[in-house]
Amino acid sequence: MSTNQKMTMDAAYEAVAPDDFPAMMDVDRYGNRSTAFDKIISATHDHFWDPLDDKYIDYTQPWDLDNELLMPADFNMELKTAVSDKLDEKQKIYLVNESVRWTMSSILHGEQGALALSASLCHILKDPGAQEYAANQTREEARHVTGFARYVQARWGKPKPCGVVLEKLLCEIVATPLVWKKLVGMQMIVEGLAMGTFATFYAKTNDPLMRRLMQLVMTDEAFHHKFGKIWADRTVPNLPAAERDLIEDWALEVFMTLMRNSTGPEQKKEIYEKIGLDWRWVQGALAEALTDKNMRRELQESTNVFRVLIKTLVKAGIVTSRTAPMYAAYVDMAELYGEGDRMVGDDIAEEGIKYLQQINGAGGSNAVFALTGATAAE
């Protein structure tokens, strides 16, 4: 791998080829451990939870999918269009709940991708501290897979297949040997998207089981986001312009792809068929209703999934004057630049950790949430 492909500006992120295990047994390697990740590693016990233990989360809580909305009707984009006029109340409930199933399934696939990616980092990161952190995250992503799989099973029995766009992105970042693409792709883009999604569902769901699951997962994800932030603080400012531009352009490309495919009418055509709608007609109804003004208003909400993602990239230094105008079509960039580093999910995660400490009997500090990436690396 050439230097510009690796973009290793800090020894903590030095990597080897996935099949170069002898490099992991280099006797000098064991003593060269960075302290950058010690705080988030030592805080692991503070946010331990077990999706198989009902003292943390009880999956037997019932829900009537035929008559109860998992999310408010105004959460569903289709019901803000002419689609609403064609459906009765039962059909609207079906559309909302099946759309939630589609999203929960996407989250489940994303967590499986995060598990595989974290494990792949264990194979290539030379720094023992970075490797230990990646191993911790692998364990945490594994419990997320279990947690979301159990939720889907409890509510619907079986998840929906992964969407084409998400599957392509997950396969790319899991398979790449490039550390920067793994960290930007997963720790910032996918995790940023996830934090926005989890915060939205936590704030708006009618289902207590879903709310608890979102909170528990966010206690882990807030730390995963910090791992990516430490990388950004130590790497992005020191990159040559051409390499920094490469990261910025790739992040923008991924963002635009996810943004354009967020509603996914074709991917949800089976849902529409069950209530007598053609996905192409739904796509047209969405295009007609979602004017730029309306879309911008939706994105102004602090928990909007794409706003959280954009803020993640802004605070990581992966948005500059080159690409800011592209993002400005969707959010108020001046407002984002003026905000602090805290993310919308941090408050929810902190409350979740207090809940877990009561169960686990832990007494650790939550101070890591108040630290910037630079301070956390000390």
- DSSP class per residue in 119-161: HHHHHHB-SHHHHHHHHHHHHHHHHHHHHHHHHHHHHTSSPPP
pLDDT tens digits, residue range 295-311?
566 656 655 778 888 98
Phi and psi at residue 81, in whole multiples of 5°? -120, -170
First-to-final CA distance of the chain: 30
CA 16 to chain centre: 26
Q: Answer whether 199's CB lies under 8 Å from 40's CB.
A: no
Q: Where are the alpha helices (DSSP H) in the chain?
A: 3-6, 38-42, 89-124, 128-155, 164-175, 179-182, 191-204, 208-235, 241-260, 269-274, 279-289, 292-299, 305-315, 324-328, 333-338, 344-360, 373-376
Secondary structure in 3-state letters for 217-240: HHHHHHHHHHHHHHHHHHHHHHCC
> From CA 129, how far away is CA 127, in angstroms rounded?
5
Q: Which residues contact 77 (CB under 8 A, 6 or more apart)?
A: 263, 286, 290
User: What's 17's DSSP letter?
Assistant: -
> From CA 358, how far away is CA 250, in angstroms rounded?
43
pTM: 0.88
CA 189 to chain centre: 7
113 exposed, middle or buried (CB, 10 Å; 0-12, 13-18, 19+)? buried
Residue 211 CB coordination number (10 Å): 16
CA distances from 32 to 24, 44, 126 (A): 12, 22, 9
Strand partners, 15: 125
Q: Hey, where are the domains in the chain?
A: 41-376
Q: pLDDT tens per residue, the chain (378 residues)?
A: 344 466 767 788 888 989 999 999 999 999 999 998 899 898 888 899 999 999 999 999 999 999 999 999 988 888 988 999 999 999 999 999 999 999 999 999 999 999 999 999 999 999 999 999 999 999 999 999 999 999 999 999 999 999 888 899 999 999 998 889 999 999 888 888 888 889 999 999 999 999 999 999 999 988 887 888 888 888 999 899 999 999 999 999 998 888 776 656 888 889 999 999 999 999 888 877 766 566 566 656 655 778 888 988 998 899 999 999 999 888 889 888 888 888 777 888 889 989 998 898 855 444 344 333 433 333
pLDDT tens digits, residue range 97-151?
999 999 999 999 999 999 999 999 999 999 999 999 999 999 999 999 999 999 9
Phi and psi at residue 327, in whole multiples of 5°? -75, -30
Strand partners, 125: 15
Check whether domain 41-376 has CATH 2.60.120.200, yes or no: no
Q: Quick one: which of 235, 247, 236, 225 has its CA closest to 348? A: 225
User: What angle, 0 to 180 degrees and rounded to 10, lies between the N-to-C axes of helices 305-315 and 241-260?
Assistant: 180
